[in-house]
Chain A
Amino acid sequence: MPTAVEVRDLKAWFGKTEALHGINIAVESNHATAVIGPSGCGKSTFVRCLNRMHETIPEAKAQGEVKIGGMDIYGVPAVDVRRKVGMVFQKPNPFPSMSIYDNVAAGLKLNGTRNRKTLDEVVEHSLRQAALWDEVKDVLKKKSGASLSGGQQQRLCIARALAVDPEVMLMDEPASALDPISTAKIEDLIFELKQRLTIVIVTHNMQQASRVAEYTGFFLMGHLVEFDRTEKIFTNPSDKRTEDYITGRFG
């Protein structure tokens, strides 16, 4: 299977502090890969390097080779990378000044697409993919993005990210602010989306990692300690540090 994301010797800094010390990882396409680890281990930093969001923080720097679908992300403008690699954040963040329709269409509209028909189609398609269409199809332009419930808002953000047709979707603890039913819906969604995209999901919740991801990487203090199939990590990890973390002996 071709790898969707290839990372070689990725290092990242916040000012003078080195937060990632040379990460090497290959993420398989059309699979979900979970990134786990204790607070401050660098998992969010790692994922934010993949779509070059890390560098939007003042004094932040990244170095190394990252290839998404064969494309070197440091060889093209950051804006292009981010159209290929979508992101969903921990706290749902729909654009408050826009309707549901405008939220989903934002990625396309603000990048030049004007054709009404195209936008309509993409909005419907994305909302269907995010399992939100039936709930909002009658109030697309009347309700603002922020007037939905938490779970719905997060699915709206997913639809919005899907609308630009990315190859890879990064999810930074997408369900941690949601109730169990919304979480389950999002997990089902991930299962569906895997057929079309590659997903990298950062999660604090190990049960979630084991439910949705085929592969899991364990990060600790800026290092990738172990990366393997999820069943192996959770039943018989190779590294003692991984075992200590997942059995709750620390972290």
Chain B
Amino acid sequence: MSNKYLQFRRRFTDYLATFVAALLSAVVVGTLVAIFAYLVIKGAGSVNWAFLTRTPKPVGEIGGGMANALVGSALILGMGSLMGIPFGIGAGIYLAEYGRNRFGAVVRFTADVLNGVPSIVIGLVAYGLVVFTEGHFSAFAGGVALAIMMVPMVARTTEQMLLLVPQAVREAAFGLGIPQWRTTISITLATARAGILTGIMLAFARIAGETAPLMFTALGNQFWSFSANQPIAAVPLQIYTYALSPYDDWHRQAWAGALVLVALIVGTISLVRFIFARSTLREAR
């Protein structure tokens, strides 16, 4: 008698747990879908050729676009990635392969703390390091700020991915007489590259939307700029400025900018995944 009850209870608990998990997942996905849908609703109408190719019009005038912000974001993100990714991977390699000691523990702790530092504070640091010493705002300073944010993120995920590579793989390499540095680069890193790439993409997505650190570094710019040493426009900055303004036209453009920003991030990640998916196809077999 009690056996039947137990059976029923077990099955009920099982279904309940599955249901709750599905429900929560639906909430998450639903939220994402809702955000994107809202963006589309509010912004799709304003995304047009003019928006994508023109610079902002003077205050009060209708029209114009965010072309310079798009270019500016690309430049800042490019510089940030170029500086942040190598340092991040390097730190990750150190932590995983050589850092099982006191110093490694210190580095790890520092990275975790940095990950938690508010982005605006990082912006201020970059201000002090670059803007103050150079005497002017610049795209480069923005890149530095974003790089500082990228490094601990990439370092920790790289470390985790490298640690997932079984020790047996490294031992096989040592057994062949391959030195440790070569093993790390050609074998361990290669084995973990899918996961490391994911980590980089996540870090990239994070910094692509950062606004606060750019406020005191890149500053923003009404006009075209392709120089690293001058203030430059960036999409998040522009959105921020427009959203807080009292002009409806600018509000409209802020929505459009938000939509474009999200679309570009998703697009970039998808593109990178696609390119690298072909080379990792073999392992999937």
B177 and A164 contact, CB distance less than 8 A: yes
Chain A residues lying within 8 Å of B182, measured Cβ to Cβ, are: 110
What is the interface of chain B mostly: helix, strand, loop, or mixed?
helix
Bound CA–CA A63/B191 (angstroms) = 34
Whose C-beta in chain B lies nearest to the C-beta of A96?
A: B191
State which of A56, A144, A157 has its C-beta within 8 Å of the C-beta of B282.
Answer: A144
Which A residues are CB-close (under 8 A) to B178? Answer: 79, 106-107, 110-111
CB pair B187–A97 under 8 Å, yes or no, is yes
Q: Which residue of B lies closest to A77 (CB)?
A: B179
Is A143 at the interface (CB under 8 A from chain B)? yes
Known: A95-B169, A96-B169, A96-B191. A53 touches B175 (CB 8 A): yes
A51 pairs with B175, CB closer than 8 A: yes
Shortest beta-carbon distance, B167 to chain A, in Å? Answer: 9
> A143 to B282, Cβ gap below 8 A?
yes
In the assembled complex, the CB of A15 is this many whole angstroms from the nearest CB of chain B, namely 14
Contact across chains for A53 and B174 when beta carbons are under 8 A apart: yes
Residue A91 CB within 8 A of the other chain: yes
In the assembled complex, the Cα of A146 lies from the Cα of B176 at a distance in Å of 18
Give the interface size bracket for B toward A. 20 to 34
Min distance, Cβ A110 to any Cβ of chain B, angstroms:
5
Of the candidates A56, A80, A164, the one whose C-beta lies within 8 Å of that of B176 is A164
State the Cβ distance, A147 to closest chain B Cβ, in Å: 5
Contact between chains at A97 and B172 (CB < 8 Å): no
Q: Which of B184-241 contact A (CB under 8 A)?
A: 186-187, 190-191, 193
- Complex-state Cα separation, A53 to B169, whole angstroms: 13
Are B177 and A96 in contact (CB-based, < 8 A)? no
Q: Do A160 and B283 have beta carbons less than 8 Å apart?
A: no
Are B187 and A95 in contact, with the CB atoms below 8 A?
yes
Residues in A with CB closer than 8 Å to B179 are 79
Q: Indicate if the CB atoms of A111 and B168 lie closer than 8 Å.
A: no
CB contact between A106 and one of B100, B171, B173 (< 8 Å): that residue: B173
Residues in A neighbouring B183, C-beta threshold 8 A: 110
- Contact, CB under 8 Å: B283 / A96: yes
Contacts of B60 in A (CB 8 A): none
> Complex formed: what's the CA distance from A211 to B62 in Å?
90
Is residue A58 within 8 Å, beta carbon to beta carbon, of the partner chain?
A: yes
Binary per-residue interface labels of chain B (244-285) against chain A in the complex, 1 for a CB within 8 Å, 0 otherwise: 000000000000000000000000000000000000001101
Cβ < 8 Å to B, chain A residues 94-153: 94-99, 106-107, 110-111, 142-144, 146-147
Most buried by A among B166, B174, B179, B282: B282
Interface with B: A30-38, A82-90, A189-197, which one? A82-90
Known: A93-B171, A157-B172. A82 touches B285 (CB 8 A): no
Q: How far is the CB of B139 from chain A (nearest CB, A)?
A: 37
Interchain CB contact under 8 A, B177 and A83:
yes
For chain B, residues 130 to 189, give those with C-beta under 8 angstroms from any C-beta of chain A: 166, 168-169, 171-179, 182-183, 186-187
B177 near A79 (CB under 8 angstroms)?
Answer: yes
Q: Is A12 an interface residue (CB 8 A)?
A: no
**26 A-B contacts (beta carbon < 8 Å):** A51-B175, A81-B177, A89-B171, A89-B175, A93-B169, A93-B171, A94-B172, A95-B173, A95-B190, A97-B187, A98-B190, A99-B282, A106-B187, A107-B177, A110-B176, A110-B178, A110-B182, A110-B186, A111-B177, A144-B282, A144-B283, A146-B283, A147-B282, A147-B285, A160-B176, A164-B176
Give the A-binding residues of B (Cβ under 8 A). Answer: 100, 166, 168-169, 171-179, 182-183, 186-187, 190-191, 193, 282-283, 285
